[in-house]
Amino acid sequence: MQEILLIEDDLDMQTLIGDYLQNYDFLVKAFDKPKEALLHLEQHKENYSVVVLDLMLPQMDGFDVCKKIREISNIPIIISSARSEMSDKILGFDFGADDYLAKPYEPRELVLRINAILRRTTQKSKKVGDFEIDEGKMEIKVDGLLLDLTKIEYDILHLFLQNSDKVLSRESISNAVSGIEYNSKERTIDMHISNIRQKLGDDSKDPQYIKSVWGIGYKFIG
């Protein structure tokens, strides 16, 4: 049975969504306080298949919650919110959401969106050298060991694996990966790649995987 983490402070809506999902054989754990939900997710992130997240919450703005979730997990996020402006949807995706449902909506549509995400997450992984990529779960393993990557680190490493032996400029990385700030982007990209190298155990002076190309960017050589 797939488990869903629901973060919704409207208790009537929380009950409605929870009951409806349970009718479709989902196990739902609901929170009305985002800080409690984040603490629970950090301790039990392997249990859940999808997070359904409201934006208008106490304690924290929903976009900040989305960002925090992405820092601790690659779990798919569906935003469920009365905020239906295009700017809100763009922000949601920029902060790492996988889908966005504007309220009001039929609960059946939420079920369909969850099932669509679950179909993607059950796709077979693919191998690239020492690496195994599960695009549905947004996970990368090296030599069978799961890398503890943030969303941006996953996106950068995934980009490298798709472009093995190609030189990628910092600009091309910035354009391909959402969530990297435009200001001081070169320094930001270098920081993320330094973190990836550390998690790979890759020595920048004698790299096994990520080689610096002076004046341009980086080349993945794994």
pLDDT in tens, 50-75: 999 999 999 999 999 999 999 888 89
**What is the reported pLDDT for 177?**
85
**What is the reported pLDDT for 141?**
92
Residue among 46, 47, 52 nearest 32 (CA):
52
200 versus 222: the higher-pLDDT residue is 200
Q: If you classify domain 126-220 with CATH, what class do you get?
A: mainly alpha
Q: What mean pLDDT value characterizes the chain?
A: 90
pLDDT confidence tier of residue 186, bands split at 50, 70 and 90: low
Q: Where in the chain is the domain with CATH 1.10.10.10?
A: 126-220
Write out the E strands in 2-71.
3-7, 27-31, 50-53
**What is the reported pLDDT for 174?**
87
**What is the reported pLDDT for 4?**
97
CATH superfamily of domain region 3-121: Response regulator (3.40.50.2300)
Upper half-sphere CA count for residue 102 (Cβ side, 13 Å): 8
Taking residues 101-124, report their average pLDDT: 87
Q: Where in the chain is the domain with CATH 3.40.50.2300?
A: 3-121
Residue 213, number of CB atoms within 10 A of its CB: 11
**What is the reported pLDDT for 55?**
94
Note the pTM of the prediction, 2 decimals. Answer: 0.58
Encode 99-132: b = buried (16+ Cβ within 10 Å), e = exposed: bbbeeeeeeeebbebbeebeeebeeeeeeeeebb
Q: Report the share of the chain in percent with pLDDT over 90.
A: 68
pLDDT > 80? residue 125:
no
Maximal CA-CA distance, the chain: 58
pLDDT confidence tier of residue 181, bands split at 50, 70 and 90: low
Taking residues 16-26, report their average pLDDT: 94
